[in-house]
Amino acid sequence: MKFFDVSENCISCVFNEKIAPDINKSVIALSRAIEQAQIEGITELVNSYNTLVIYFNDDITTHDELKKHISELKIADSNTEKKRTFVIPVCYDKKYALDLEELAATHELTTEEVIQIHSENEYLVYMLGFMPGFPYLGGLDERIATPRRSSPRKAIPAGSVGIAANQTGMYPLQSPGGWNIIGQTPLKLYDPNRNPVVYYEAGDYIKYEPITLEQFDEIKRQVEAGTYEIQVKEEK
């Protein structure tokens, strides 16, 4: 791990230039260790694929003091953490899968094959960004990796599930975007009136579960009524 001074009140801890699950787990483990240590002066922690960015109050601490504190931390083995997998229901019907047929044709696959490939993997949440609750997920099968659309849409519906290059992700809110949309979840991925506001966090996993149009409508009714409980699998 290397330290870099980013600004007068910010440093970054860079683990590697590569993007890999074990590197990301190290970033998350350091973030949790810093939170538990309650180091005075730290105001915010922002983790990404391979880097942890630390903001601090420069009236309270300094770059060098922070680096010293962090270097002395005892960081838990990331392999001992429980694995949490959130099961996200997704309707891949053409009503919601705006780009599924075109994406399938690009790869000389049927839409059913794309759905099977997309829904059989578990995806690591590397980080959240772009908008509240937007997960950057790793683990997409190369057979369905697809470049962003050449012409972005002005409005992608909330809950849309998409593919861009070798990543898949979900739009928690309506937004412009250029990802290839292959389905939609009826869940509210971001809800400021819910605790937690976002179900998942960096280090968790996402598993997509195909559902029918009828199941989509039923789950959406439950979500709006506040009776839906998201399925979470925990294992060591």
Beta strands in 8-82 (DSSP E): 10-14, 42-47, 51-56
pLDDT band at 59 (very low <50, low <70, confident <90, very high): very high
User: Each residue of 20-37: pLDDT tens digit?
Assistant: 999 999 999 999 999 999
Asked if 203 and 105 sit in the same domain, the reply is yes
Asked if 67 and 133 sit in the same domain, the reply is no
Asked if 128 and 164 sit in the same domain, the reply is yes
Q: How far does Cα 166 stand from its chain's mean position?
A: 14
Could you please report the per-residue DSSP string of 142-208? GGG-BPPPSS-EEEEPTTEEEEEBTEEEE-SS-EEE-SEEEEE-SS-SB-TTSSSSBS--TT-EEEE
Report the distance separating Cα 72 and Cα 66, nearest Å: 10
User: Each residue of 152-195: pLDDT tens digit?
Assistant: 999 999 999 999 999 999 999 999 999 999 999 999 999 999 99
Q: Give the dihedral of Cα atoms 187, 190, 194, 199; nearest 10 deg.
A: 70
What is the pLDDT, as a whole number, of residue 18? 87
Asked if 111 and 194 sit in the same domain, the reply is yes
Domain span including residue 91: 83-235
Name the nearest CA neighbour of 229 among 187, 173, 169.
187
Asked if 88 and 196 sit in the same domain, the reply is yes
Answer for the pair 158, 189: CB distance below 8 angstroms, yes or no.
yes
How many domains does the chain contain in total? 2
Answer for the pair 15, 26: CB distance below 8 angstroms, yes or no.
yes
Asked if 75 and 179 sit in the same domain, the reply is no
Q: How far does Cα 122 stand from its chain's mean position?
A: 12
When pLDDT is averaged across residues 204-222 and rounded to a whole number, the result is 98
Q: Which of 29, 55, 80 is the last residue of a domain?
A: 80
Asked if 28 and 93 sit in the same domain, the reply is no
Asked if 167 and 140 sit in the same domain, the reply is yes
Classified as helix, coil or strand, 19 is coil
pLDDT band at 17 (very low <50, low <70, confident <90, very high): confident
Q: Which of 54, 80, 106 is the last residue of a domain?
A: 80
Q: Give the dihedral of Cα atoms 57, 58, 63, 65; nearest 10 deg.
A: -80
Query: Does residue 80 carry a pLDDT above 90?
Result: no
CATH number at 127 reads 2.40.100.10
Report the distance separating Cα 219 and Cα 110, nearest Å: 27
Asked if 87 and 68 sit in the same domain, the reply is no
CATH number at 28 reads 3.30.1360.40
Asked if 97 and 169 sit in the same domain, the reply is yes
Asked if 57 and 138 sit in the same domain, the reply is no
Q: Which of 16, 50, 80 is the last residue of a domain?
A: 80
pLDDT band at 201 (very low <50, low <70, confident <90, very high): very high
Asked if 44 and 143 sit in the same domain, the reply is no
Report the distance separating Cα 161 and Cα 182, nearest Å: 6
Q: Measured between alpha carbons, how far apart are the two ends of the chain, in Å?
A: 26
More confident residue, 80 or 117: 117
